[in-house]
């Protein structure tokens, strides 16, 4: 069995048809047929059921498919590993929650770009779910997401904690106010955003029925919308410090059990990290890990009741 055969196999499995796989492989159908047959003979099992239109995997084929993918990934990685002589270069794609990117990454990224000019750095925004999938699939090298991430395929490093707060318009003086207010909505970045789920749970625990959603493309529009009284949202409190809206929205602090979320950096556990990624991790830990105990931690362990923005609320009120 050769890696070339597995490439053919994988393409056929993906397309469900030899003819279309042949196109992708820049060859003709008869070759695909022949090589699949050769592969079947090599492993001693039939891999596809042939139909009048297309083919489908047999059980044996289904068992082989993940290996085909792993082999091709491994070869890719091998190539990179050979070329990677220890000095970071090439492309590094980092996934990040939108909020994390907005609040935290700027100094890290500029520092990295300066320190490793040979690396093309790209930030890929997404929700925790999307980014986990992207890391596992290999389309991003690593990502900042909401922890904890328990996936055994992924390596997880805690980076910092965020303190979430409910943001609402200044007219809202307690969340109970929301119970009657029918036209208030949840303003979220994406339907799949993990903060949305958290906010719904949080309201549910207080007997507030989940308002309807409103999706926005950027954080600024969410904040503008919240300030305008169109909706409420749940975001890291810190987001306000760099925002023009810091004085125009009400901030509802939350008890630590609800407020604190760990942001972790995830990367594939099986793939050896590129030098570019290792260097990134080094800078990130330098930037975030000491900061965690020194400043953030103290704030979080202190009073969560004090005023932020214009509103002071005791936990009991929320």
Q: Is 55 in the site for DNA (CB under 7 A)?
A: yes
- DSSP string for 164-207: EEEEEETT--STTHHHH-TT-EEEES-TT-HHHHHHHHHHHHTT
Cα–Cα distance for residue pair 216/219, rounded to 1 Å: 8
Query: Among the candidate windows 32-40, 82-90, 169-177, 233-241, which touches DNA by CB under 7 A?
Result: 32-40
Kindly tell me which residue out of 6, 11, 17, 188 binds DNA, with binding defined by CB under 7 A: 17
User: Is 246 buried (19+), middle (13-18) or exposed (0-12) by CB count in 10 A?
Assistant: middle
Q: Is 106 in the site for DNA (CB under 7 A)?
A: no
By beta-carbon proximity to a copy of itself, the closer residue of 81 and 106 is 81
Angle at 210 between CA 205 and CA 215, to 5 degrees: 130
Q: Is 143 in the site for DNA (CB under 7 A)?
A: no
Q: Is 34 in the site for DNA (CB under 7 A)?
A: yes
Q: Is 59 in the site for a copy of itself (CB under 8 A)?
A: yes
The answer to whether the beta carbons of residues 100 and 193 sit under 8 Å apart is no
Q: Is 6 in the site for DNA (CB under 7 A)?
A: no
Percentage helix, strand, coil, to 5, in the chain? 50, 20, 30
Q: Is 108 in the site for DNA (CB under 7 A)?
A: no
By beta-carbon proximity to DNA, the closer residue of 26 and 306 is 26
Q: Is 43 in the site for a copy of itself (CB under 8 A)?
A: yes
Q: Shortest gap between Cβ of 84 and DNA (angstroms)? A: 24
Q: Shortest gap between Cβ of 58 and a copy of itself (angstroms)? A: 10
Query: Among the candidate windows 51-59, 68-76, 110-118, 164-172, which touches DNA by CB under 7 A?
Result: 51-59
CA separation, residue 308 to residues 165, 215, 276 (Å): 10, 25, 39
The answer to whether the beta carbons of residues 123 and 144 sit under 8 Å apart is no
Instruction: Give the footprint of a copy of itself on this chain (CB under 8 A).
Output: 1-4, 6, 42-45, 47, 59-60, 63-64, 67-68, 70-71, 74-75, 77-79, 81-85, 152, 269-270
């Amino acid at each position: 069995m050769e890696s070339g055969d597995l490439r053919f196999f994988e393409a056929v499995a993906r397309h469900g048809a030899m003819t279309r796989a042949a196109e992708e492989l820049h060859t003709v159908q008869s070759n695909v047929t022949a090589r699949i047959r050769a592969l079947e003979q090599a492993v001693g099992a039939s891999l596809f059921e042939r139909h009048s239109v297309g083919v489908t995997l047999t059980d044996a084929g289904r068992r082989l498919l993940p290996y085909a993918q792993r082999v091709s990934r491994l070869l890719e990685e091998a190539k990179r590993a050979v070329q990677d002589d220890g000095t970071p270069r090439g492309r590094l794609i980092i996934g990040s929650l939108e909020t994390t990117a907005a609040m935290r990454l700027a100094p890290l990224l500029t520092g990295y770009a300066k320190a490793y000019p040979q690396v093309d750095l790209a930030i890929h925004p997404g929700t925790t779910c999307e980014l986990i999938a992207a890391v596992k699939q290999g389309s991003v090298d690593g990502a900042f997401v909401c922890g904890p991430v328990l996936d055994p395929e992924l390596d997880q490093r805690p980076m910092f904690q965020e303190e979430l707060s409910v943001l609402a318009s200044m007219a809202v003086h307690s969340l109970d106010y929301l119970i009657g207010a029918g036209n208030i909505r949840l303003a979220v970045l994406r339907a799949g955003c993990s903060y949305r789920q958290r906010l719904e749970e949080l309201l549910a625990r207080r007997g507030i029925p989940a308002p309807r959603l409103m999706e926005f493309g950027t954080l600024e529009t969410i904040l503008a919308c919240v300030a305008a009284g169109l909706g409420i949202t749940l975001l890291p409190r810190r987001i306000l410090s760099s925002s023009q809206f810091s004085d125009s929205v009400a901030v509802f602090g939350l008890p630590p059990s609800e407020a604190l979320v760990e942001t972790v950096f995830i990367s594939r556990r099986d793939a050896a990290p590129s030098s570019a990624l290792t260097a990134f991790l080094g800078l990130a830990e330098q930037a975030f890990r000491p900061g965690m105990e020194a400043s953030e931690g103290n704030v979080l362990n202190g009073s969560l009741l004090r005023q932020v923005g214009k509103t002071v609320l005791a936990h009991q009120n929320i």
